[in-house]
Chains A and B, each alone.
Chain A
Amino acid sequence: MDSSEKHIVHITYFDLLLKRACYQLIVVLSFFIALSLFSGDVCYCFSAKEDSAGYEKLRYEMVEKQIAARGIRDENVLRAMRNVPRHLFVSERRRGSAYGDFPLSIGYGQTISQPYIVALMTELLKPGKDHIALEVGTGSGYQAAVLSEVVKEVYTIEIIPPLGRAAEKRLKELAYENITVKVGDGYYGWEEYGPFDCIVVTAASDHIPPPLIKQLKKGGKMAIPVGRPFLVQHLMLVERSEHGDIQTRSILPVRFVPFRREWK
């Protein structure tokens, strides 16, 4: 075979292989695209076929298996968790997983906390029917909705405008009349409606904003979930005594002890 013959063989192989490679590549890529689309569809199908009664059943199960089973005893909190339709606070494609024992993404790098954490935070605040609550970091509006079931009024502030507007619209549609949403910087609290009996700060960075401490009523409580992203490691509970003194407690959502000796 002289060089020109080699040349021809080369071109033929080249074309053939190129075509085959392209073909196989398209097949592989299509497979991946189909799989990812399919996985999305599966979730959507599950969510679509559930009617509201179905969700209610899931919600009751959630309260029983995830919340009451972990030691939440406040009947008002349990009732609130049974009442608030959590699936309506997440995007449609995530509705099927709304009652799972985990947090969910709501976009903008924000999450809707695990149901148990929401219940625990609410219980820690020891809410009363005549209480006024402030929430900093509305997110989806779910925590505000749960709080609104156990207190008189809830004021909630969200700094990310699209999230705040969506939460406001959602809460209005769900007829939560005792919740007021504001889009703005929650660092300064909401002096106009303060002081508050309970405050939830879901968006604290590296310090607890001094204006919020100021707006906490004597005998009031403030809860701050700590840990990110998605997972809460502990809850910071700030309490103002009847004398005005401030005390904090770190609450672990799980029973971890002992740390020493006995575990071995």
Chain B
Amino acid sequence: MFPFFALLCISSSFLAFELLLMRLFSIVQWYHFAYMVISIALLGFAASGTLLALIQSRGKGVVSEAHCILLFSLTSFLLFLFTAASFFVAQTIPFSPFELVWQKRQFLYLAGYYGLFFIPFFLAGCFIGLSFMRFREQIGRVYFFNLLGSGIGVVIALISFYVVPPALLLIVPSFFALLGFFFSVPKKMRTKRYLVLNLVGLVLVLTYLMKGGITLEISPYKGISKGLQLPDAQLEYEEYSPLGLVQVVDAPSLRYAPGLSLTYAQGPPPQKELFIDGNSYGAVTNFKGDKDAIAYLDHSTFSLAYHVISPQEVLVLDPGGGSQILAALFHSADHIQAVEPQPTIVNLLRGPLRSFSHHIYDHHPHIQVDIASPREFIARDVRTYDLIQLDVIGSWGGVGGGIYATGENYTYTVEAFQEYFAHLKPQGILSASAWLSSPPRTFLKLMALAAETLDKNCEGDIPRSMVAIRSWGTGTVLIKKGEFSFEEGVRIRNFCKERAFDLVFLPGIERGDVNHYSVLESPIYYESVESLLRRNTRHEFYENYLFNIRPPTDDKPYFFHFFRLSALVYLLKTLGREWIPFLEWGSVILWGTLFQALIIAPLFIFLPLVFIRGKGRPFRLGKGKIFLYFSLLGLAFMFVEMAFIQKLIVVLTHPIFALALVLFSLLFFSGIGSLLSNRVGEGRRWIPFAGILFFSSVSVLCLDGLLKVFLPYSLFLKCLLLVFFLAPLGFFMGMPFPIGLQVVADRKRSYIPWVWGVNGVASVIAPVLGSLLSIWLGFRTVMALSLLLYGVAGWMMHLISKNGIEREMSE
């Protein structure tokens, strides 16, 4: 059993390393750059196939047990060293992703990153690939331990996010790699030298622990770095969880008043800024019960609703530091329901910042707070409200350089807005705000979202139920369950006039009413909203606009994705390099990653073939079908994973929980499927494919309904139910790979490293391709595509088996 335990430990270490690395990168840099670096470095997995093919060819097709043990121990020990060391060294590289465009040196730094992280992935790939070669008679078992280990790795990573400080995170995969090293050598071969190495490893782990881990070098361009370098700035509080590293900075010069009117003469009272993973999450304002001190909140566009109606029941979604709650208090709302998805923020406001924030979350007579995502809360809430208030979305300065373009957001989708609208009382208002971007896109998309919500829910005249205004920096749109009256229109006009805000749309508005204070070359918002409000012109407007302003849906929940492929030629032709400031980094990174992977990957597909020599041809049908079979499996497995993760985000509140649950369930049950795969006879190889197609189809049909049923349950119960729901699909998904590999092992074992490399390449390309497909075509299409890929893979298996039988018969 010893090598299987080692395999289990190495697989756990590898997957935990990947997840923890992503977490650390999110803290020190930006998640999306991390994604690119890790994706490319993962090609190390594919490269391991090349090395294994080389070793195999040196050993003339046979790798002795001694060789194997030597390689097992060597790769696992090096993996132990490199998990923490790679990140430690990477931090010394002055890589600045935003400078890539004009500083060639940055490409060298990026290559350094790739090289460093390539090593641990390569080592893990060698260990696992070698296991398949060494125990080719028990491939199902090897795959079982690999998948089980990977599943455990996910759980380990999730627990580590809670209990291990970020600086010490990498000790976890290191330790599991060391355990792998310990188990990689059988008892009879445990020499003194081997024991010394184990001891050295332990000493290194202890030293690392005592030293307090790695000092995280956070990018100087992140909000937290800028906040901390202000005079007299202090890091007051820090807490970590899977949802991010929450930090509170206190500095006298920190001030947060988004889009404050230029006519207002005072600033906000003292504040403390909140950061999650180094990015600003709003500020907590020092409120002592004196309403005058928070009067500044009444001078932003988001306060408009309070001047139209006098809401008693207010629902504030994603309040962050609590500005919107204070705004509701300022306007004397009787009952304020806050929904905050970050438990740490609520704990902070109930604990250390309790008195600073005037105990808004701690037994306040007018405020109630729920820890949930807006979607989760609204699905289970049965009350209705006078006002539902969403905070200002985006940021001043071009939505963070478009870095979040490829990030999902389920709070701003057509389905979400419909649910919010359904929770309004008659004459109630839904208020949503956004930072304006130039050229206009963010606020236009928000208005399109509001218009479509009204279109689907409003019984009256749509243009009479919507109002939109803008300041120099922010825009607010109101949609009403009912029509805005003439008196309300007058109040809106006065609100804007007093604060130098511009009207964008109002029932009865005329062209002369707009574009007075924040002057645009042409009144584009006013002109656009006219088209957006009418069903017959809306879609034509979407089609003709330079940016993608089509409202997001749950199937394509990308609010910040504005880039249109069809506009690319125009932008390049007319703007050339001038377009760089408007690049949507999130999309560029995805395309860039795919492009790089497609350039490098063929190397790892063809190189192993150079080393593979042997007598006779392994298959009459050639390598093409085998290549296709394993590539399709790699792609389809990942596509299913991605589609389920997306589906479960809403029900499990946070992406990280959805990721952990789906990965664990599918990997664990795939492991069991793999273990039993040897029982699938040659003539019954269609069964796993039929099982996958059946259970995938069932889940596609039933999942939405089931999720609605699961939504009100506790997180634990939801997880348990979902694990059982995913179990049969996972079980069957674990079979095709070992079955295919067993076929290869039985007929021509020297091709195992090559197949391993092909699998590695597919697992790098699949998530990137899956993300791009989901952005452009939606998750439903990705899921459907995965079914198609499994179908074709099943057909390939049929052809391969048929060929095998024919070959045997001819022999």
Known: A206-B259, A227-B581. A40 touches B102 (CB 8 A): no
Segment from A55-63, A82-90, A124-132, A231-239 that makes contact with B: A231-239
CB distance from B283 to the nearest CB of A (A): 9
CB distance from A165 to the nearest CB of B (A): 13
Q: State which of B69, B397, B517, B577 has its C-beta within 8 Å of the C-beta of A10.
A: B69
Interface membership of chain B positions 249-268, coded 1 if the CB is closer than 8 angstroms to chain A and 0 otherwise: 00011011111101111110
Complex formed: what's the CA distance from A185 to B255 in Å? 11
The answer on a CB contact under 8 Å between A259 and B546 is: yes
CB distance from A99 to the nearest CB of B (A): 12
| Total number of B residues with any Cβ neighbor in A under 8 Å | 85
Q: State which of A36, A205, A246, A260 has its C-beta within 8 Å of the C-beta of B262.
A: A246
Within 8 A of B (CB), among A196-211: 204-211
Complex formed: what's the CA distance from A147 to B547 in Å? 36
Q: State which of A3, A247, A255 has its C-beta within 8 Å of the C-beta of B519.
A: A247
Complex formed: what's the CA distance from A238 to B115 in Å? 48
CB of A7 within 8 Å of the partner chain: yes
The answer on a CB contact under 8 Å between B518 and A248 is: yes
Complex formed: what's the CA distance from A254 to B575 in Å? 8
Interface centre among A102, A207, A259, A263 (most CB of B within 10 A): A207
CB of B191 within 8 Å of the partner chain: yes
Interface membership of chain A positions 238-264, coded 1 if the CB is closer than 8 angstroms to chain B and 0 otherwise: 100000001111101111111111011
The answer on a CB contact under 8 Å between B66 and A6 is: yes
Complex formed: what's the CA distance from A214 to B264 in Å? 10
CB of B570 within 8 Å of the partner chain: yes
Known: A206-B258, A228-B397, A233-B582. A36 touches B544 (CB 8 A): no
The answer on a CB contact under 8 Å between A246 and B517 is: yes
Residues from chain B with Cβ under 8 Å of A9 in the complex: 66
Complex formed: what's the CA distance from A107 to B473 in Å? 28
CB of A193 within 8 Å of the partner chain: no
Segment from A13-21, A45-53, A173-181 that makes contact with B: A13-21
The answer on a CB contact under 8 Å between A187 and B401 is: no
Complex formed: what's the CA distance from A204 to B112 in Å? 35
Complex formed: what's the CA distance from A17 to B58 in Å? 15
The answer on a CB contact under 8 Å between B472 and A236 is: yes
CB of A30 within 8 Å of the partner chain: no
CB of A105 within 8 Å of the partner chain: yes
Residues from chain A with Cβ under 8 Å of B566 in the complex: 264
The answer on a CB contact under 8 Å between B98 and A230 is: yes
CB distance from A57 to the nearest CB of B (A): 21
The answer on a CB contact under 8 Å between B73 and A230 is: no
Known: A17-B74, A21-B74, A227-B398. A232 touches B265 (CB 8 A): no
Residues from chain A with Cβ under 8 Å of B67 in the complex: 13
Interface membership of chain B positions 537-575, coded 1 if the CB is closer than 8 angstroms to chain A and 0 otherwise: 000010011110000000000000000001100100011
CB of A80 within 8 Å of the partner chain: no
Within 8 A of A (CB), among B489-547: 500, 516-521, 524, 541, 544-547
The answer on a CB contact under 8 Å between A226 and B396 is: yes
Residues from chain A with Cβ under 8 Å of B258 in the complex: 206-207
CB of A71 within 8 Å of the partner chain: no
Residues from chain A with Cβ under 8 Å of B541 in the complex: 260
Interface centre among B220, B472, B524 (most CB of A within 10 A): B472
CB of B188 within 8 Å of the partner chain: yes
Interface membership of chain A positions 145-163, coded 1 if the CB is closer than 8 angstroms to chain B and 0 otherwise: 0000000000000011100
CB of B109 within 8 Å of the partner chain: yes
Complex formed: what's the CA distance from A100 to B101 in Å? 12
CB of B221 within 8 Å of the partner chain: yes
Closest to B576 in A: A254
CB distance from A184 to the nearest CB of B (A): 8
CB of B578 within 8 Å of the partner chain: yes
Residues from chain A with Cβ under 8 Å of B101 in the complex: 102
Q: State which of B73, B188, B519, B546 has its C-beta within 8 Å of the C-beta of A249.
A: B519
Residues from chain A with Cβ under 8 Å of B440 in the complex: 259
CB of A27 within 8 Å of the partner chain: no
CB distance from B85 to the nearest CB of A (A): 11
Closest to A237 in B: B519
CB of A43 within 8 Å of the partner chain: yes
Known: A13-B66, A161-B231, A248-B519. A229 touches B221 (CB 8 A): yes
Complex formed: what's the CA distance from A250 to B438 in Å? 8
Known: A159-B253, A226-B397, A231-B581. A32 touches B115 (CB 8 A): yes
Q: Top 6 nearest A-B pairs by Cβ distance?
A: A109-B220, A231-B581, A207-B260, A234-B438, A102-B102, A233-B398
> Contact residues of B with A, CB < 8 Å?
65-67, 69-70, 73-74, 78, 93, 96, 98-99, 101-105, 108-109, 112, 115, 188-189, 191, 193, 219-222, 225-226, 229-231, 252-253, 255-260, 262-267, 395-398, 400-401, 436-440, 472-473, 500, 516-521, 524, 541, 544-547, 566-567, 570, 574-575, 577-582
Q: What are 10 A-B pairs with beta-carbon distances under 8 A? A: A7-B191, A185-B252, A185-B253, A207-B258, A229-B221, A231-B580, A233-B397, A233-B582, A254-B581, A264-B570
